[in-house]
Structures are given as structure tokens and as C-alpha cells.
Amino acid sequence: MSSVVAVARIAYFASDVIVNSQPPNAIASGFASTFDALRFATPNRPSISHLPFGADPGAALFTSRDARLISYTSYSHRHALNQLVLHLAELSSTPTVLHVAVEEDLSDVLVLQSTIPLCIYSRTPQQAHDNALLASRLARTEAQAVLHVFHVGSQDGVVDEVPQDAIQPYLLAQKPFANGHANGHANGHANDAAHSKSATDASLLFRAYEHAVLSTVSLLRRPSRALHRHGSTEPHTVIFTLGHSTFDIDIDGVSFVDVSLLKPLLPSHIIGAIPTSTTRIIVAEQVHHWSMKWLPLYLEVVGALQQAVSEHRPIVQSCVVGDAAAIDSVSVLKVLEQAALESLSTHLILGDVSSHTRPPATEVPHVPQHETSYTKILGHLFGNRLEISNSPELVSSLGHIATSPEFTLGRLRGQLDERAELLTSVQDLLQEPSISAELHAALSSWALSKDDGEKSKQLGDEIARLIQAGTVAHPAAARILELSSLFPSLSRWIIGSDVWSHDLGASGLHHVIASKLNINVLVLDTLPYSARNTADPSRRKQDVGLYAMNHGDVYVASVAVYSSYSQVLQALAEADRYDGPSIVLAYLPYSTENVPALDILKETKLAVDAGYWPLYRWNPAKERAGKEPFILDSDAVKNDLQRFLDRQNHLSQLVRSKPELAAELVGSLGEKLRQARKQRAQQSYNELLTAIDAPPLLVLYASDGGRSEKMAKRLAARGKLRGLSTTVATMDSVSVTDLAKEEYVTFLTSVAGQGEFPQNGRTFIKALNALAAQSETPLTQLRYSVFGLGDSHYWPRLEDAHYYNKASKDLDARLEQLGAQRVCQLGLGDDQDADGPETGYKLWEPQVWKVLGVDAIDVTEAEPEPITNEHIKVASQYLRGTIVEGLQDNTTGALAPSDTQLTKFHGIYQQDDRDIRDERQAQGVEPAYSFMIRVRLPGGVCRPDQWLLMDQIADEHGCGTFKITTRQTFQFHGVIKRHLKAAIQDINRSLLDTLAACGDVNRNVIVSAIPSRSKLHAQAYDFAKKVSEHLLPRTTAYHEIWLDKKLVAGEALKDVEPLYGEFYLPRKFKIAVAVPPNNDVDLFANDVGFIAIVDKNGDLEGFNVTIGGGMGVTHGNKKTYPRLGDVIGFCAVEQGSDIAEKIMLVQKDNGNREEYNARLKYTIDRMGLDTFKAEVERRLGYQLQPARPFVFDRNVDDFGWSTGADGKHHLPGQEFKTGLREIAKIHKGTFRTTANQHLIITDIAPADVPTIKKLLAQYKLDNLSQSGLRLSSSACVAFPTCGLAMAESERYLPILIDKIEKICEENGLRNDSIVMRMTGCPNGCARPYVAEIAFVGKAPGTYSMLLGGGYHGQRLNKIYRETVTEPEILATLQPMIKHYALERLPGEHFGDFVIRAGYIAPTTSGAAWYDGMGGEGQHRERSL
């Protein structure tokens, strides 16, 4: 027997009145089921009221205050218990027992104990049974409220129950001590004259408790103690326990005190439980979400000890108890060790609290399945126009308040006010004479058709297009674009239950009725007609319909879908058309979700035919037109209209106002009208049947990159256009049990790694594999089809060919093995086909429609346009989005997907720890989200004080480290959402920022770091900084969101982007400045490059300009390729910023903005270099000068001490955090980061060199003995944080270099520089496509191998082997490096050698990158 059943039984037999609060989300209530089972057990049944979740129990409790004993039963939930708080003061002096069942955490329920006189706690089902009796007697004899808190416990607990006939005599028995004086207790405070009245009251209540305990013990013959001590008799540590754990543990020197009486808990009683040998007290409480610093029982114990008269007081420490099942003697010993080390103010942890310390996910309210019948009708009537304004789906973003009518009303009022402002702006723009005739016509048409659902949307889209395409300077045009989402006329509905009708004011219905806004409310009444007399008479419903009709300007209808479907359609359509508030009362009688539809039909017929639920419509618009506003639709009621009108019901107002109406009303329902209604009803019914008869289709997908997700959602949308009831979800969101109930399911999946399933499908396939291993066939009713997305060229070798589309093939076979019936052949999409996977998909999709019988349906409606980054940017209000709201949402560690696209512009990427992603998914929790923050650091120059702040930020907000990137800046990883804002504020405090460090804008401008040419570097750095500032976005969103700066004047949003516009760039834009002869920035790999040209005096004269470089590639997509920049001319220093701007603007206006071909390199190849250059010069107003000669001889960093032209010293080195922190504390120069991820300590005065050298030696930073290969290598971050990574990179490259170094050393090449780079994906962050040797991740442990890049970045490499693992890498490089060592020419670099030796062909241009891939001649790779 469970604790809930035991307590419910006692409450039933002991009480006169029971008020039971139902749990949330249609969870079965153990209290309610027990009460129902006991209804026939005794002739003296208590009065029982079942309140829906969240309803206020105060009224029901107060109306029964004259009862001898009232019991309130509830599960612990903050929303249910918060309703009690306001009534506790009044309830405290009534004979009421509050029985509250808790699962684990006591935080919510213990809030109540401060106002309740007595509070008792039970751990086990037996204690819950005994204390329920005790609490009932206390409440009855003392006429005081008692809070009884007990744990739910297991269902199979053993409980020795008291006989039913013994309960009432026990409650009525006299107290054992009739005198009631204080001398009944040896440790009482009766003789303490200074004691307060409250203490005296507590003593009296405690004696009352003891009297009740004596009576209970005499009945049950079981002990019951306020405090139960067990364990060591002379302990050094006493642990007070409040929680589910019973602590049946024997530890030497430790005593446990289990607390059963929480209030009143007398200080003397607490002190009496503490032996004199005690030196430490630990108060362990199971409260994980307590909002205050000090826990409740801890305060009681500390307060008691402060009153004790003793020279020696033990140490008292607070402890939070975790999972009770996991607590053992080892856990307790760990806490004792922790207690000796921690400060007294620190909460100790006993057991595992990880599952409790996470922020609780917002519970989305459950919508009972029967109630969806009305929402389906709304969707059928209004389609895309429908907006359920308090939809449960909004709870995840807005909280539980999102479903309340008063909050929704406020939100809708704001929307309607903005739409009125939109109309005003349209009218203002109509007065502008300079607008085009086409735009004027569209604006006029919209103003006339603004309330037409279809036309308003079409015209609104046309207006937005025309404004964006033109050059309208009127301020109203900008405001119209901001409010363009309000162009469509929506049908806005608030849906609620009859709970709202108990208090029209508190529920918000009154505000809707009186608002005069065009808002519709659907109120569902679920009380069955046969149960109408069982309702609590003290909680009478208000007549919402009558109340609304009294206002005179509200449309009101009473409908019942199971009585008259056509009347429901007519009423909903009229409500939508009515310009003002509408209230539709809908009858849907059911008691539980398991009630069959036939029973609902019977109850509806009874209610409608009996006149209990009349069907009618009241339309004030008709009255204003001189027509009859009221129409009665109840056929049964019409037969006896006068008797119906005499009743005090919805029509009483009508009788008083127009008694002569009855005859007209009956006459209005003539035969023609009746026939017309029947025809319309039949037509609507046939349409509904068409939708219902079409088989439901479930579309499941697994996707990492989003491609198969988009396909799945497109398939579901097309199914809906064909009349199917489609649902789309991830595979992991559906259990095999639920899958077995489906009829038709389509699966779409891509592949990850070596034919593995994407992340959101792995749990699903594991479940299928487990069932297959058990030879079960649970899917015999399922009919399915599978479509897979893959790349046949991704695994070119014969032995790897089976990885192609392996996930879809495995899924197809596994479903068949489990008994499912394949209805369409497996569809395979191949990236190598002409249209990519669309080629295979176009063959597969028609087969699905044919199986479902909807292939002949002609779909004329256009498919909705997919949401892209371009839509997100233009709708973001200049990079604002909903980032502020997302930061305030504590229910998740993530931001909304659209906001994560916008935060890139703010220098922030959302990531999660992929090392533990599977583990967290198995635990049912969201990924371990964190954020990467990238600093904007033009030229990579950082002062020592800024370095120290970066170091501090990494420790306080990040994971303890910060990384130097290939764009000469810092980035922090592991910053959780609640630290995000503080971290960025700290970065800005150092006079740095993160704006435009990422995103579709110009990013961090990088500069060659040549310490020996300090003068030239300073000039190049000043130029780079000027370019960076010139191309910064001008939006104030960054300062508003992160730095709490105010909006522009008047709090109005008037942002403008003079360079970028609201669409910004098609993709990222990168600029580099190189100082020959060192191309350490890989200048040709950037969109724009400036090559410094020096005059005869060594000063910066100007720059050669390059355009069109870029690294990003997509595996298997030959439309993507790396490209090196082309030199287009020379410019003076002062012209540089303007030239960079014009190049960027030409790209902005001509880039195709497609995901895979949006970079500048593709724009140039599409337009032609000469055409692109001519357009840049046209915008400049002058032509570039011919390019000047220059020479690059390397792209690696120089290591070791060097002296600049200014006489100061410089030292490139490796980054070791502690040593560099100490150097930064005394360094007077600067730090420079390099594009090769190294650090240079620069501008060291000669006098400071010895001190710097000493620190370098102390922290082992002076080691310059690394191999040339290692010093010339670099890698991207990849796992575990990068969401795009396919393989390891920075964690693996050092391991691989260890092994390749040995090959180099064996061949005498230890000090020879070979540029080697590795990335975890083909996006190219570490610039692998210009390296001499490069590895690009394809799957865990698998890479593409590239050879032949130019040593100074002047030539692209080429794919030598498409798929290699570590053994193959070493086997390939060993003879190649040996060959290089033996036969290289003087000064010949490795990249040049492999081309001359015939290993690989040279890459002549980006577009020719794929030509000759796979090796040359005898070195060519065998492929499919």
C-alpha cells in the first residue's frame, strides 16, 4: 500500500469534508481513486470536492469551516500550494488537516509551515498512516490547522491499518491529561518568566501534541516520537535528518536524529537530543530549491543552541540531502570529511543532487484529447489565419502565465495597437507623393482589405516587397517594414475551461468582455449532465453567456459539437467576423480522457434536449442593422419556448426586453431555412469526413546538419496540402510503443560519421536493435517507408562503400525485421546526383502519396517559403531578435535557434559538450549548452592589463582557458548562459569588445606580426584598426543587450545600418594585411587582402589589393571549393578603407545569399574578375594603380628573441596561462597574437629582458627546441564544443605530430619546416587548403588527406586521399618523407616537392581544385 492510499483512507473515515486538489497534466490522483473506491464502505460519507489543478481551494475550505474536521489533500506542487498561502492565516484557527504528498523535494511545502500552528512529517507509508490519525485528532481536539507532510513512497509498502470502526472513537476520546497544566513535561518552560507569549503558545501546542501521541500509541501500540535518535550513544557528530532517507546506518561516533515534528519544535527538545560528547552537528534537509540561504530546520537547531546555557557549543553545519536511494555509510563518511574542510556557511551535499539542481523545465499544460475536437474545427475553418493566443506551446517561452486570459489579453492588446499603428503608417505613406503608383495601389488595397484574411496577407507581402525594392525615404516606410508581420488579418482565439466561470473577475474573462477588442474566447464546459448535481454548491459557476450579453456589444454563442456540428461552424464563423469581443460557450461533457466519444454524445444529447445546455447565437451587429440579434438553435427547446424563457438562464434578459419575441423566433425557423441549414451542415460534414478519412501520416527524421529535417517538414507540409493529418518529429521523440500504434510512418535520415545515425535518432535505433536482439515483432501493424540522404563519393574506396547511406539501409532492414510492412521501396538521395539528394527524393515522394491514396489530388496552394538566415536577419530589428528574452529564460541553458544565428554577430556561438551529449540524452536532459565568445582584436595587439582581464574572465566565466585563434584573437569556451552577459561586460571593461567577431559582417582584421620590423608593423596595425572600425556594424543592439545602454532618443527604435542594411552580408567577410616577405596571415585565403608595399625609406607607401580568397568547402559538393585571392592593383594607404568598403558593398549587392555559394569567391567567379573589379572602381570613382612587385617566402612564425627597429626586444612563444599571467603583471609592452595561433611578447625594453627571461625559465616557456613540423602546425577547436566538427582536431593533432616527428627525425628533417594543418570539418577555420600537408575531418578517426600547398600560401593543395585513418596516414607519409629527404632540391619545400615528384598535380585555380584529385600516376588512389 502506498502512503497516498493510507492517508486518503484515514482522511475519508475521519473527516466531514474533503477538498482534493487534482494533480497537473491529467496525472491519475491516488487520493481521488481511493475516495472513489471507499464511497460504498460507510453510510456516513464525507462531502468531497475535487478541484482542478491550480484552482483556489480557499472558498471550498471556508464554506465548510463549521465542520468538525476538514481534510485537504494535494500533491506538492508550487502552483497548487501557492493558492493556499493567502488563506493560511484564516485556516490556522479551523479544524483542518492539510495532507500534502511529496515526491522528493520539501522546498515548496515547507513554505506553509510558518503560518500553520502544527506541522508533522512522515517518511514511510506506516508513519504516514499513523501521523494522518495523529494530525486528524490534533486538528479536531485543538481546533487548529495541522500540516501533515509525507512522502509518496512505493506502491508495495506494508501498512498495518487501524480498523475503520476504531477511528471515530479515537478522535472523540478525552485527553489523557485533563488538567492541561505545564507540569506535564519535565523540560517545559512554565517557570521561565522572560519567555514570550509565542513560546508559551508553542509549549501548549507541544503538550497538545504529546497528549495526542499518547492516545495514538494506546490505539496502535506503536511508538511515535517527535525526535527519534539512533546510532552511537556518545557521538562526536549528530546528524539531524529531514527527508525521505531513514539512515539505518551504523557509523562509529555518529548519531542520527530523525525529525517527525517540525512545529512546534521546542529548543529544550532539540537540546535534549544532543549528547554532551557532540562537537559537530550537521542538519541534513531534503530541500533542493529553497529560495533563502539558510534552511528551515538548520535555523531551528541554531536557535535552540543559542538558548542553551553551555560554555562549549558544537559546530553546526547545513546539509542538502540528495537521492535517498543512493545514501549509504560511504556517503555519510564523505560528508563528514567535507564538513571538516568546508566553511560553516557552505551547504554540504549528501548523496546525488544533480537531478535536483538543474533548473526545472517548464511544464507544458496537457490538452485533453477530447478538447482537440474544437481546436481541429478552428483549424479547419481558419487555416493559417488561426492564432490560439494562449496555446500551451507558448509556456516554454513565456512561462505558465502564457495560458491565462488576462496575460493573453494584454499581449493581444499590444498586437492590436501595433496593427492600428501599421494602418496609420500606411495612411501616412499614402500621402507621400514620391511613392510609385504600384506601391500606392497596394497600400490603398490593403487599407480597404485589411480585415480580409487572404487578401491582407497577399497585399502585405506585396507592400513589403515594393518598399524593400524601392528607395522610399519616408519614415513611415521603415515603420511599415518593422510591423510587416501584422499585415495578415488573424483569427485570434483564447481557449479555456469552465474553471474561468467561477470568478469572472479573477480569471480575466471580465476584462476580455469589457475590452471592446476584436478577440474571440472559447470556453469549454466539461461537466456531464448526469453529474450536474454533484458539483460543489459553494463554487457556483457564473452565467458567462448572460453576463456577456448584458454588455450589449459582445457576440455570444452556446454550441455543442456532438449535437449540431453545423451550428458550431456557423457560430465560430460569425464570432470571427464580428468586430469586437466574442464569447463562444462550448459543451464537451467528459470526466476523464478515457471516456469514449459515444458517452460524450449521449451526455450532450441529454443536456441539449433537456434545455440544460441551450444552443443559441447572440449577434449585436444584427441589432445595429435593425435585425433580430438572437437566434435559438435548440430544436427541443423550441417546442416549449415560453417555459424555457421563464427559467433563470441564458435567455432571461431577452424575455425582459422583448416578451413578444417568441412567436417571431419560432417562425424564423421555417422550412426553407431548415433545409438550407441541413444542406450546409451536410456539406461541412462531408468536408470534415474527407479530412478524417485520409490516413494520418507520421513523418520522423534524424538530422545533424538540418538537411533531412527540412525535407521531413516539407514532406509533412505537402501532406497537409493533400488533406492528410500529418505530424513531424525527431525519431528520438517517439517510443517504440507509440510507434506500434501508428498506421503510416515515413522515416528520413542522413548519416553521421561512418554510417552512424544522427544524434537525434540514436536512442530510437538503439531501442529497435534491442527489440530485434530479443526476436520480438511489435510493429506488425505499422506500414512504413524510408528515405536516406548520403554521398556515394564520401567513401570512394571499395572497402568503405557500405558506409554510403548505411543509416537508412539499416533502419529499413530493422523495421522489416520487427514485423513492419514496407509500402515503398527504400529511397536514396545522393549528393553526387545532378540535383543532389533531390534527384532520388523526386522519385520516392510520389510513391508515398500513391500508397496513401492522395496522389491524384491537384495541389494548387503554394508551399510556404522556408525560413532562412536572411529572413532571420531582416526580422531581427538590427540584430536584436529575442536575445534579451532568451537570456532571461531560466528553463533552458540554450537560446532560441533564430537567436543563435543573431548572437554570431555579437561574437557568440552557442555550443554544447559533445563528449557527454549521448549520456545526457540517455538521462532525458538537454545537452550541456554553453557559449563560445570571440573577442574583436584588430591586428592581434593586446596590452598587459587587457591580458590579465582575459585571464580573469576565463577563470570566472569560462572553462579556465582561453584560446588564440587563426584570426589573431581570443575566444572563451564553456561560458554558460547566466554568465554570458557578465563576461561580455567584463570584456568591454577592458576596452575590447566582441561585436562583429563572427557573423555575416567584416570580421577581425588580421595583420602580419613581424617583430623585427616594428615600425612597419605599427603602421600596418594602425591601418588594420582603421579598416576594422570603418566596417563595424552601427546597430545599437549590442550595447542595449549586453551593456544595458538605453535605446536611442525617446526609447524608440531608429537604428540604421548605412553599410550593411537590414540584410547584412550574404556570408562572413575576412580581411588580412600582410607585410612581405612573411605571409603569416595567409593573405590569399581572405576575401580581401592588403599587401604592404614599402618605400625606399622603409615606410609604408601603400598596398597591393587582393580579392576573392576563401577556404570553406562542403564534402562531396563540387560546387564548393577553396580559392586564393587575385591581385587587382595598388592603392595608397589613405584609400584602403574606402576600397575595402566598396569591395564589401559589391559583394553585398551581388552575392547570391545561398548557403553553399554565398562567399565573395563564388561571386567573383560568377561575375568574372574583370567585371567585379570594374564595378568596384565605378563605385570608387577612380581606377586602381597597377600592382607593385612583392615577394613572400614563408607563412610561418619566427621563433626566438629578436630586436626591432626601435631597439626593443620581442619573443614569440607558446601559450602557458600561469607563466604568461605573471609576465603580464610586470610587462610594459604589448602582446601580439599571430594568425598561426602563436603569441609574441613584444616591445620589451632592454632593461626588462633579464626579468622576462627569468620568468620564462621559471615557467618553462623558453623551450625553443620544438621540431620544425610542430612549430609550423595548427588546428581548429573541433570536438568537444564545435557543433560542426566531424572528427577530432586540436586534441588529436599533437598526438599525430608525435608520430610523424619520429619519421622526420629518422630522415634528418627535425628542424625543417613543413606546414601541416588539421580541421575537424571542411569549413577550413585553420586554413588547411593552403598547407603543404592537411587533414580535413570526415568522421571520427577519418580524414581527407591533402598535399601540395605553397609554403608561403601562394598555392592551394589538393585532395590526395579522400579517406584515411591514422595507420594509413603514417603508411603514406613514411616513404614520402623519406623520398623528400633524399631527393629534394636545395631550398625546395615539401609542397613543391610532392608536385615535382608526381605525387599530386598543382592546383591552378579554385574552380580547378577537384581536377586531378586522388594523386598522379602510380600514386593515384583507386576509387569507385
| Residues involved in catalysis | 934, 1003, 1068, 1070, 1276, 1282, 1321, 1325
Q: Do residues 1384 and 1392 make contact, with C-beta atoms less than 8 angstroms apart?
A: no
Cβ burial, residue 154 (10 Å; 0-12/13-18/19+): exposed
Contact 350, 332 (CB under 8 A): yes
What is the C-alpha to C-alpha distance for residues 1109 and 1355, in angstroms, rounded to an integer? 11
d(CA 1220, CA 951): 9
* CB atoms closer than 10 angstroms to residue 1132: 13
CA separation for the pair 403, 421 (Å, rounded): 26
Distances (CA, A) of 1143 to 343, 1003, 1026: 61, 14, 16
SS3 1090: strand
Cβ 891 vs Cβ 875: under 8 Å: no
C-alpha 578/C-alpha 310 separation (Å) is 79
Which backbone phi and psi does 258 adopt, to 5 degrees? Answer: -85, 125
Q: Could you give the CA distance from residue 125 to residue 1090 in angstroms, rounded to a whole number? A: 79
DSSP for 1041-1086, written as a single string = HHH-PPPSGGG------TTTTTT--SS-B-EEEEBTTB-TT-GGGS
Angstrom CA distances, 965 to 66, 972, 1010, 1070, 1195, stand at: 75, 10, 18, 14, 16
Closest CA to 1066 of 1112, 1102, 1023, 1097: 1112
Q: What residues have CB less than 8 Å from 96, skipping those under 6 apart?
A: 61, 69, 70, 71, 72, 139, 145, 146
Annotate 326-340 with b (16+ C-beta within 10 A) or e (fewer): ebeeebbeebbebbe
> Does the N-terminal peptide bond of residue 1367 adopt cis geometry, omega within 30 degrees of 0?
no
Angle at Cα 789 formed by Cα 786 and Cα 795, nearest 5°? 125
Alpha helices in 774-867 (DSSP H): 806-817, 838-851
Integer Cα distance of 749 and 1162 in angstroms: 30
Amino acid at 825: Q
Residue 1021 CA: distances (Å) to CA of 940, 1012, 1046: 9, 14, 33
Closest CA to 1043 of 995, 1004, 975, 971: 995
Write the DSSP symbol of residue 288: S
Instruction: State the Cα–Cα distance between residues 1376 and 1370, nearest whole angstrom.
Output: 10
Pairing type for strands 1230-1233 and 941-942 reads: antiparallel
The whole-angstrom separation of Cα 241 and Cα 244 is: 9
Distances (CA, A) of 127 to 124, 249, 273, 636, 1170: 5, 19, 21, 57, 88
CA atoms of 888 and 891, how far apart (whole Å): 9
CA distance 323 to 315: 25
- Return the DSSP state at 630: E
User: What is d(CA 1011, CA 1242) in angstroms, rounded to the nearest whole number?
Assistant: 7
Is-contact 210 222, C-beta < 8 A?
no
Q: Which of 232, 279, 285 is nearest to 254 (CA)?
A: 232
